[in-house]
C-alpha cells in the first residue's frame, strides 16, 4: 500500500506511536539489544518523513518511559547515546522541513548532556510552523496527570486560578501536551495489547491499531496500512450510528 490509497480528507491530525519490539528484533536476529534500538532509529526517520509528507499536524513518539530507567544501566546509557546521535544527525533536516520538536515527560531526569542537546533542538525549531514532532522521554501518563493536578493546586495557592471544581479544559491545559490536539490514532507495534502508561488522559477516544510488526521492521507501508484502517472506522464519540447519519461525522 502507498499513500495514494489514503483519503486525504480523513487523515488523523495527531498520530501517537508506542515503538515496541526493538529487543525482540535483535534477539530474532541474534544481535545485541542495542543494535535493535539502533535499527529502530531507521524506522523513526521513515515515519517522521512519511507523516510530514502527509501533512500530519502532530506525531508523538514514545521514546523512553519513566519505567525504562529500571533497565540495565548499559542499555539505558546506549539508549541515551542513540537519542543524542539521532538529534545531532537529524536536526538540520528536521529544521529544513519546518518541523518543530517538542518534548514531554520528566525531562529534568535526562543526563545533562542529553538534556542540553534536546533543549538545543527544541530551541532551534521553536519558530517552525510545520509538523510537531513530540517526543515522550522519561514519560509516565500517571505522573503527567499528577503533575497537572499539582500544577493546578500551586496556581490556586498563588492566586492564578480561582477555586472551585476543576473541569476538563483546566486539567488538559496543565498536561505536558497542553495546546496539542488529542491523538486520533494510536499505533502499537510488536503485537502487545497494552497502553503502557502512555497518554492516559489524551487517548480517551483515540482509535487504537496494533500490529505484530516489530518496530525496526515498521515501514512507511505499515504506517499507511494503519492510517487506512483508521479511515475505515466510524468515530462515534458516544453517539449512535443514527445520530452520525444526521450530523457531520468527526474526522
> What pLDDT, on the 0 to 100 scale, is given for residue 85?
96
Q: Model confidence over 208-248: pLDDT tens digits?
A: 999 999 999 999 999 999 999 999 998 866 666 666 666 55
Catalytic residue (choose from 3, 68, 119, 128): 68
**pTM of this prediction?**
0.92
Catalytic residue (choose from 20, 22, 134, 174): 20
> What pLDDT, on the 0 to 100 scale, is given for residue 240?
65
User: What band does 69 get if pLDDT is binned at 50, 70 and 90?
Assistant: very high
User: How far, in Å, are 171, 186, 232 from residue 207 at the CA level?
Assistant: 22, 6, 11
- Calpha distance 114→109 (Å, rounded): 10
What domains can be seen in the chain, in order of their start residue? 12-141+182-233 (3.40.1180.10)
Q: Model confidence over 84-118: pLDDT tens digits?
A: 999 999 999 999 999 999 999 999 999 999 999 99
> In a 3-state reduction of DSSP, which class is residue 61?
strand
> What pLDDT, on the 0 to 100 scale, is given for residue 2?
83
* % residues pLDDT > 70 (the chain): 94
Q: Would residue 68 show up in a list of annotated catalytic residues for this protein?
A: yes
Amino acid at each position: 500500500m502507498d499513500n495514494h490509497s489514503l483519503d486525504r480528507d480523513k487523515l488523523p491530525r495527531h498520530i501517537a506511536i508506542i515503538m515496541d519490539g526493538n529487543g525482540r528484533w535483535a534477539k530474532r536476529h541474534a544481535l545485541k539489544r542495542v543494535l535493535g534500538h539502533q535499527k529502530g532509529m531507521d524506522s523513526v526517520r521513515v515515519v517522521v518523513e512519511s507523516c510530514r509528507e502527509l501533512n500530519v499536524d502532530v506525531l508523538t513518539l514514545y521514546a523512553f518511559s519513566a519505567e525504562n530507567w529500571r533497565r540495565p544501566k548499559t542499555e539505558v546509557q546506549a539508549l541515551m547515546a542513540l537519542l543524542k546521535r539521532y538529534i545531532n544527525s537529524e536536526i538540520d533536516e528536521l529544521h529544513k522541513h519546518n518541523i518543530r520538536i517538542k518534548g514531554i515527560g520528566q525531562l529534568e531526569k535526562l543526563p545533562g548532556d542529553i538534556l542540553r542537546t534536546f533543549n538545543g533542538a527544541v530551541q532551534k525549531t521553536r519558530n517552525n510552523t510545520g509538523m510537531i514532532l513530540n517526543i515522550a522521554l522519561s514519560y509516565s501518563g500517571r505522573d503527567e496527570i499528577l503533575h497537572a493536578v499539582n500544577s493546578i493546586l500551586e496556581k490556586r495557592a498563588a492566586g492564578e486560578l480561582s477555586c472551585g471544581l476543576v473541569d476538563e479544559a483546566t486539567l488538559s491545559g496543565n498536561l505536558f501536551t497542553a495546546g496539542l490536539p488529542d491523538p486520533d490514532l494510536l499505533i502499537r507495534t510488536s503485537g502487545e495489547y497494552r497502553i503502557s502508561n502512555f497518554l492516559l488522559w489524551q487517548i480517551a477516544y483515540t482509535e487504537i491499531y496494533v500490529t505484530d510488526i516489530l518496530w525496526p521492521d515498521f515501514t512507511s507501508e505499515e504506517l499507511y496500512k494503519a492510517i487506512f484502517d483508521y479511515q475505515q472506522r466510524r468515530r462515534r464519540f458516544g453517539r449512535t450510528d443514527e445520530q452520525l447519519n444526521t450530523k457531520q461525522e468527526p474526522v
